[in-house]
Structure 1
Amino acid sequence: MSGSTPGGLGVVELNVGGVAYAASLATLTSQPNSQLHAWFAPGGDGVPKDAKGRHFLDRDGVLFRYVLDFLRDGTLALPECFRERERLRREAERYRLQGLVDLIAEDSRRVPGCITVGYRGSFQFGKDGLADVKFRKLSRILVCGRVSLMRDVFGETLNESRDPDHGLAERYTSRFFLKHSFLEQAFDMLFEQGFKLVGSAGSGTAGSATELKPGVDVEENRWNHYNEFVFVRE
């Protein structure tokens, strides 16, 4: 292989998604079952080269630094408030690095904390002879807690548009909500990250004297409610 010496001790120059790296051939081939080993081991598949002669990988160049850390010493050390665990997991899977996939999963379950999930909703009833039909109707799922923790758990499904302090991760907020309205999806994401439900509460939100907004069904308005669920990871 160009750029390396016999015995696997040479230096390999890489262009990973536009970011330049250099690593020893021994590092790149340290995981025998990985895609990197298949590419760079003697007699391997190889990869194309860019105009400067560097081996080109069409992957996330910024996240590749953590892939190299794992290849070098078998560990994972992510910075505080790291927000891209899901993307890093996908990169690890693409490189067929199961050990790194396992470390990412372990790291995501390591930070303790509390997240509160709340929603305002109602039970909408069927009409035109279908009075026994009803389904849950949610307007928005709200999440409260430490910003960095909620970003780790909910990832790209988290909507931060109502929050004025986007840059500060080590703080608490009650202004985040989810981009979807599937309560069970939010619960599944919390359970997958090691959270447990420790408490819940609910109450009605509509009184008989409440003035209805135009287009609001009277019967449906009677069944308006607000619920909160508290999840904890120790």
Structure 2
Amino acid sequence: MADSTASKTIVELNVGGVFYTTSLATLTKDADSVLASIFTGRTPVARDAKGKHFIDRDGVLFRYVLDYLRNDSLVLPESFREAEGLRNEATYFKLKGMLEALANQFGVELASKSKEKGSITVGYRGSFAFGRDGLADVKFRKLSRILVCGRVTLCRDVFGETLNESRDPDHGLTDRYTSRFFLKHSFIEQAFDMLHEQGFKLVGSCGSGTAGSAAELKPGVDSEENRWNHYNEFVFIRD
């Protein structure tokens, strides 16, 4: 009867800013996992502003954690490049079966391979959106695009499926550098988290000051908002 009730209980999650809906039975399927500990009441968990259970982990990779629990098997895309990141998630959630599946699929070197040294520069153009009351009603930070510069293989390993390569014309060659990658999302903290999880450290940063423009604004662009355009860059290194 308890299993039947769990299978009908719906749980809403906020994992690193990505929302999921699943059943209590799925989350508690592996009794020794961190998720089972949380959703059987043994470990407290925070809730976000909308009442969803909040777990501060990689929201994009969590989909594979849920798929594994639902199906008792690990199925990944052919072009999957975040095996190490997914191993970190499986380790955190204490999913031994998932760790074994990753080792079988990617080989024993997954857990022990040395990480490639190198640097990645992350930059973004941003502004602030204002309400009708101008400076008295600042609404939120606006990021138009997060740029990624570095060695192609390194950028792909770190950002995986969140990396947009559509503006990089030189496809095929991997042993090269590019300054044309950007991310599919606009959350600078998510980019920082992914770099941190991969062992990168921030070693330098720079940014432009706010400046107005005398050029004619495009339709729909607020003149007050345009005054606060800025550009920042952050240099990360893994050695």
Q: TM-score, normalised by structure 1?
A: 0.58
Aligned with residue 100 of structure 2, among 85, 97, 102: 97
Gaps of 5+ in 2: 1-71
Question: Is the counterpart of residue 210 in structure 1 residue 208 in structure 2?
Answer: no
Q: Distance in 2 between matches of 1:211 and 1:205?
A: 18
* 1:179 paired residue number: 184
Q: What is the CA distance between 1:130 and its match in structure 2?
A: 7.9
Alpha-carbon distance in structure 2 between the residues aligned to 1:139 and 1:61: 31
* Segment of structure 1 superposing worse, 118-127 or 146-155: 118-127
What does 1:96-135 correspond to in 2, within 5 Å? 96-97=99-100, 100=103, 104=110, 106-107=112-113, 110-128=115-133, 131-135=136-140
Q: What is the DSSP-based 3-state SS (H/G/I as helix, E as strand, rest coil) of the residue aligned with 2:216? A: coil
C-alpha displacement of 1:215 = 1.2
Query: Which structure has the highest helix share of the two?
Result: 2
How is 1:134-153 mapped onto 2 (pairs within 5 angstroms)?
134-153=139-158
3-state SS in 2 of match to 1:232: strand
How many residues align structurally? 159
Match of 1:83 in 2: 81
Show CA shifts across 1:104-152 (max 9, x none): 3553x62110000000010112225882333210001000000000000
SS state at 2:219 partner? coil
Contact map agreement 1:83 1:148 (CA 8 A) in 2: no
Cα distance in 2 for residues equivalent to 1:111 and 1:131? 47
> Counterpart of 2:172?
167
d(CA) in 2 for partners of 1:169, 1:189: 21
Q: CA deviation at 1:97?
A: 2.1
Partner deviation per Cα, 1:166-200 (whole Å, 9 max, x = no partner):
21111000010000000000000000000000111
**Displaced runs of 4 or more, over 6 A:** none
Distance 1:61 1:189 in 2: 19
* Greater radius of gyration (CA): 1
Query: What's the CA shift string for 1:42-67, capped at 9, x where partnerless?
Result: xxxxxxxxxxxxxxx9755998xxxx
Of residues 225, 231, 234, the one that matches 2:236 is 231
Distance (whole Å) between structure 2 residues aligned to residue 116 and residue 149 of structure 1: 11
Query: 2:83·2:102 contact (CA, 8 Å) conserved in 1?
Result: no
User: 2:23 maps to what in 1?
Assistant: none
Structure 1 runs not aligned, ≥5 long: 1-56, 64-81
